[in-house]
Structure 1
Amino acid sequence: MSYDQNTRVGELLPYPILAQFLDDACNPPYKGVPVAGFKWKPLVNPATRAFLSVSAPNRGILVLSTIPGTGADAVLLPEDVILALDGKAIDDMGYYDDPDFGRLMFPHLVRKNHSPGDTVPVDVVRNGVVTNVSLKLSTQNDHFSLVPENIERNPVDFLVEGGFVMRELAGDYLRAYGSRWRSEANTRLLDFYLSQSAYQEGTNSHVLILSQVLPDPINVGYQHFRDEIVTHLNREPVTGISDAFRIADRDGGISRVRLKSVHLDIVLDKAELEEANRRLSTAYGIPSLRRRAAPAK
């Protein structure tokens, strides 16, 4: 339960959702909360409705994108218009009439009386034709998100090369800025977090960042860089910390780093890199300059 004093809007969690959660949690393995797996927006503009050949009055929401790895990714397309889900008509603002609670947003349909793995029918308008697809409900896999939330506060993988501390961007990293994190955090990182669907390129795509630079003679001139997005290592594009580990192991270290904000390679002296890493480990009391957990399944 929550209440916003500014808007005077309260949010309550319906009892069937709580009952389902408790039943699931008390009967392991925990299945999780089902999700439909797509992003959407209301469809109220008459011109847009006409362009998409939606004739049903005051019905339908527009699919913007699907989340990789979910059931929606297999059966829905951008610009599909969803008219009904699980046998309930969806209006142009995303509401349906619930027999117990009245007018509710359609995501409640997914969570009510369903579990991950269930299949629900969906009526869609695609290319002007009304058709029906079977949508398999999924559970949100944090690892597949471009910017994982890491709500469990698991230790993150990292790599330190020449004082460059690299890790993947996560929701908890941004929220570490405090209650005003949306205004205090780096705007480039916030853009990736808030607009993930625009940047996601696959289930293994993440955002590698240079979180800080530990001062050392090898990185003089680079020590002001912080919270920068890394696009290339040793001239090779990267999409996460796994690429950083692979390149470092293959090349015997990271000597070239390209940042999104700079578009030029930051170069470290490869001949001095091994000695610099030993010096950094001792000076900063870091037993290991990398942490690599087992890959998520």
Structure 2
Amino acid sequence: MPTVSKHYNESLQLETILLQLNDAYPDGPNAYQLAPIDQLHIGGIKASEKLAERLDTLKPESVLDVGSGLGGLLRVCKQRHDAIYVGLDITHGLSYANQQLGKLNQTSSPCMVVTGNGQQLPFADESFDVIIMQHSLLNMPDKINALKESKRVLRKGGHLILHEVLMGEHYEQMLFPVPWARTKDISHLTSEKSLTALIDEASLRIESINDWSEEAILWRTRQTNKQATQQTSSQSPVVSPAMILGCDFIQMGKNVQSNLQNGAIRIVEILIC
């Protein structure tokens, strides 16, 4: 049976990534130069920058990223807001890669990285001011536990920010593979109605819901065109999503674009307290 860890581990080419980044950027890569491998969520680095803007208002002293992957979101947040940042991911290979990428740029102190399960958080009660999940619930079958655990480790007055892929009106047209799952076995998408009911069951309250689907379609279309150009070019990019997701990442991207355009999926940002 496929697992989340296997999905993200089996094509990871960490040695090649580090070698090529060191050769191309001897002083250390910046956030945009790392984006092809550490901003694999829908919307890319621009979506992470929009989430980071939330911190301007919330002003947290501590932030937990659940499902942190290679750490791209927190690198963007650190550039904007000074706080204690912790990244948690269930896939140890990604957590280790996150740590190694964090060491490349000596001008920026690495975030704390923990391998752990977002459905059973390994932190004490009231540990964080803000928790962010960016395309994380879609790999978690036990969403109510993930939400209750978030509530448990949030401090009084804290916030949970979700940037999630949800089922769309025409979910029956869903195509696989996609970046978070090659087959539907490890894809655990839910509808907005079901998710809001779970948020209420976890004794959390929604402050706002914003639909980012139109922006996501425009972004994915640009990415598809960019990747088509790269395929016909003799010059290869320094790093590529293929080094994380494997050779079928091109098809994954095309399927994401089709799924967005056909209404099989939606992209939302939800602010919760």
User: Normalised by the shorter chain, which TM-score bucket?
Assistant: under 0.3
Greater relative contact order (Cα < 8 A, sep 6+): 2
Higher Cα Rg: structure 1 or 2?
1
Judging by fraction of residues, say which structure has more helix.
Answer: 2
Judging by fraction of residues, say which structure has more strand.
Answer: 1
